[in-house]
A and B are shown apart, each in its own frame.
Chain A
Amino acid sequence: MSTTTRPAEAPASSRAIGLAGLLLGDHPVGRLGRAAAGSRLAAALATPHGVDRYLEIIDPMLAVAEVRARVVSVVRENPDADDSAPVATITLQPTATWRGHRAGQYVQVGVDLPGSARRLTRCFSVSSAASVPGETITLTIRAHEDRPGHPSVSRFLVEDARPGQVVHLSQAQGDFTLDQSPATPTAIPLLFVTGGSGITPAMSMLRTLLRDGYEQRAGRKVTFVHYARSAEDQIFAAELAQIAATDNDVDVHLRHGDHVFSEFELRRLVPDFRRTDTWACGPAGLMELVTEAYDGSSALRTEFFKVGTATARSGTDAPAEGTVTFARDGRSAANTGASLLEQAEALGLRPEHGCRMGICFSCTARKTEGTVRNVVTGEESSLPDEDVRICVSAPVGDCSVDL
């Protein structure tokens, strides 16, 4: 499917022996053991910690509630793209708790980064076709550079992850999914418009259509338009070329370099695009143009990447800038530079809080986007989806909090 630069298969003998092997095995003893571990009795005995806290001591791949996954292989997708970030496809074997995924969904991947001991969690679209429990899944990830103080999960997974390693996983999430049955041929056409790494959920849908469709055909007219930085940086190139060359109802249009999206071109490819079921996913610039072209049509489904906001000016002396948004409440205001708790209260919100000095953790809330500075330590953090103590966190630039 793609060029392999680092062929890395999990060792066949990775099946643990002993208790873990017994419980993980696909035989009556293993099945009985797993059923017992998942029973209400086991839960009552393991209270308050939960059964998984004990199973993880035996083997991290044993779980009754949590989802984890073992890295099976890591394959580089763009080995010839020298001047752009490396992309790799990572094959994961989830634990028995995995409920499968619908084409187009994403998972949260948690990694304990070596050196810092901090677990970072990021969302990645599943690039393989729809899965059922027990099957492997693949993630196709572009490595972002580490920044000082901000190690990159994607770079770790692409460059440092090794077969056998265990990562934390969520169940599949998201509604950006193929909501039509691939097995039933139909006259209703589909359209995918993607850019860069945004190809991954669309690829999952395309693969599902071709895998589950009658005689490996999509069973409906499918137009697949993708924008990549360069031909060398085109991921899934070989597979897409093969799909394009096969008689399977799919039209593939790859655009490279300066060739940007235009409504004019889309109209030429799909004249009735505004009334065609469309999935669009890509960087903010592309998404703006696509959304504009569809003019509010309900046929368009979109998914954005969450990109780390750049910190405008930092340091204690910098003037307060940007907008603070309290997402759940819906209120927002210009950043005054005060703590998030004070700014929330100034807007009339009443967030839960205690000591107002950062020691009691009563006010912990999730910062979804932006940078905050700890007013006690001066430490700044730009991680998305991070729990912060709002009484000692002041926004630096735009910031959004789940309050």
Chain B
Amino acid sequence: MTAAPLSHDSYAEQLTEQLDLTETRRLTEDELPRLGEELDAIRQRVLADLGETDAAYIRKVVKWQRTFEVVGRALFYLPPAWPLAVASLSVSKILDNMEIGHNVMHGQYDWMGDPGLSSRMYEWDNVCPSEQWKYSHNYLHHTFTNILGKDRDIGYGILRMDEDQPWRPYYLGNPVYAFLLMVLFEWGVAVHDLEVDNIISGQRSMADNKPLYPGLLRKIRRQAVKDYLLFPALTGPLFPLTFVGNATANLIRNIWAFNIIFCGHFPAGVETFSQEECENESRGHWYYRQVLGSANISGGKLFHIMSGNLSHQIEHHLFPDLPAKRYPEIAPEVRDICERYGISYNTGPLRKQLASVAKKICRLALPDKD
């Protein structure tokens, strides 16, 4: 059921529907434009309503993030407060990367004209240079969402996350690779643009990567000097504690971001598409693909903020440039539209989505059973 039903022959499709393996149906040529119009209308309405509350909100989050960061760095001077320092710094890094960085770099706040919140200027607190991330994420991933062979975020060139990726013995290590990717997530994101898998398979040459190295190395150096040299050194004899504390904060951010992102893209039921079925696609079909290509995580307000509102991955994929804080507000409407068109709206609590993703990672490590 994670395979693309649209590419199956009609018998298989009928069978799938009879067995109720998927709630999703294929929309007709009449329905697609109407779906597009309905979703465009939501987008239009939110765009027209953007204003002071959105600006005040993101500025408040920025202020909180900076405060958590300063408090976290300061608490390293009090050894008994070490866990608090790590917690505070972790919260700062998570807010910076998710609710601020990811969303600002999508251009969600470009309308404010504030250079500090502009997608062209913002640089986030992790080792991936924003310029390179914006290309692979904003362009490749968000335009070609879940199109096999085009969206490099399906398995990130490391994992087997879809049955249509042919099994190789290499994929026996799927759970191990996933664990490593989780722990080293910021590094994975940073080297994602180098497309190492494509170099191994010969589709990309080392020379293609040359222009990326200076920016990447500069960003890595700055981040490493800050977290692993200067701040530890400033705490004098507490150097090792601060060093380990900063590394732990980066690790916690890595684990959190990895899990939120995997739950937004890979739970059971999320679908992939072939390149052929997306050729010259209409806006309606693009929207349709975005809904089917993502999954939400239900939870409370604080959970949504800490996930950068990527717990509303469906809404985010439909409207990547609307301020993420608006996603919870439009979610009931989007869900209603999906129900009326008979498109599945994949949502569930974190533990359910996590279990589903973990199961998929393990199941796809093994060859498909026919």
Chain B 298-335 interface residues, beta-carbon cutoff 8 Å to A = 320-321
Map CB proximity to B onto A8-43 as digits: 1 under 8 Å, 0 otherwise: 000000000000000000000000000000000100
Collect the chain B residues with CB atoms within 8 Å of residue A54's CB: 66, 70
CB-based contact B107/A361 at 8 Å: yes
Q: Are B106 and A361 in contact (CB under 8 A)?
A: yes
The residue that B138 contacts in the complex, of A47, A57, A121, A354, with Cβ under 8 A, is: A354
Known: A44-B225, A364-B120, A377-B44. A118 touches B113 (CB 8 A): yes
In whole angstroms, how far apart are the Cα atoms of A54 and B134 in the complex? Answer: 25
The reply on B231 being an interface residue by CB < 8 A is yes
Q: CB distance A44 to B286 under 8 Å?
A: no
B135 to A354, Cβ gap below 8 A?
Answer: yes
- Asked if B12 is at the interface (CB within 8 A of a chain A CB), the reply is no
Residues of B contacting A118 with CB < 8 Å? 111-113
How many chain A residues touch B (CB < 8 A): the figure is 32
- CB within 8 Å of A: which B100-142 residues: 106-107, 110-114, 116, 119-120, 123-125, 134-135, 138-139, 142
A147 on the B face (CB < 8 A): no
- The reply to whether B320 and A47 form a contact with Cβ atoms under 8 Å apart is no
Cα(A241)–Cα(B113), bound, Å: 42
Q: How many of chain B's residues have a CB under 8 angstroms from any CB in A?
A: 46
* B139 pairs with A119, CB closer than 8 A: no
The prevalent SS among residues of B at the interface is helix
Specify which chain A residues have a CB less than 8 angstroms from the CB of B40 in the assembled complex.
376
Cα–Cα distance between A48 and B123 once the two chains are bound (Å): 6
With a cutoff of 8 Å between Cβ atoms, the chain A residues found around residue B62 in the complex are: 53
A357–B139 Cα distance when bound, in Å, is 10
Closest chain A CB from B327 CB (angstroms): 15
- Given A44-B222, A355-B142, A117 and B123 touching (CB < 8 A)? no
Question: For the complex, is B359 an interface residue (Cβ under 8 Å from A)?
Answer: no
Bound-state CA distance A291–B167 (Å) is 75
Q: Does B6 contact A (CB under 8 A)?
A: no
Q: How far is the CA of A355 from the CA of B110 in the complex (A)?
A: 17
Q: What chain A residues lie within 8 Å of B139 (beta carbons)?
A: 354-355, 360, 362
Chain A residues positioned under 8 Å from B74 (CB to CB): none
User: What is the chain B residue whose CB lies nearest that of A41?
Assistant: B230
Residue in A closest to B319 when the chains form the complex, CB atoms: A359
Asked if A119 contacts B106 (CB within 8 A), the reply is: no
A65 to B176, CA, bound (A): 46
For the complex, is B223 an interface residue (Cβ under 8 Å from A)?
yes
Q: A48 and B138 in contact (CB under 8 A), knowing A57-B66, A117-B55, A361-B106?
A: no
CB-CB under 8 A from A146, the residues of chain B are: none
Q: Known: A115-B52, A117-B55, A359-B142. Contact between A48 and B124, CB under 8 A?
A: yes
Task: Give A374-396 as 1s and 0s: 1 = Cβ < 8 Å from B's Cβ atoms.
Answer: 00110100000001000000000
Q: Which residue of A lies closest to B96 (CB)?
A: A49
In the A-B complex, the 4 residue pairs with the closest CB atoms: A354-B139, A117-B55, A119-B113, A48-B123
New A-B contacts (5) at CB < 8 Å, excluding given A45-B231, A110-B113: A44-B230, A45-B226, A49-B125, A361-B107, A362-B139
Query: Can you list 22 A-B contacts with CB-CB less than 8 angstroms, sorted by A residue number?
Result: A44-B226, A48-B123, A54-B70, A114-B52, A115-B51, A116-B52, A119-B112, A354-B143, A355-B139, A360-B138, A361-B106, A361-B107, A361-B110, A361-B120, A361-B321, A362-B138, A364-B110, A364-B119, A376-B40, A377-B43, A377-B44, A387-B120
B residues contacting A by CB (< 8 A) are 40, 43-44, 47, 50-52, 54-56, 62-63, 66-67, 70, 106-107, 110-114, 116, 119-120, 123-125, 134-135, 138-139, 142-143, 219, 222-223, 225-226, 230-231, 234, 283, 286, 320-321
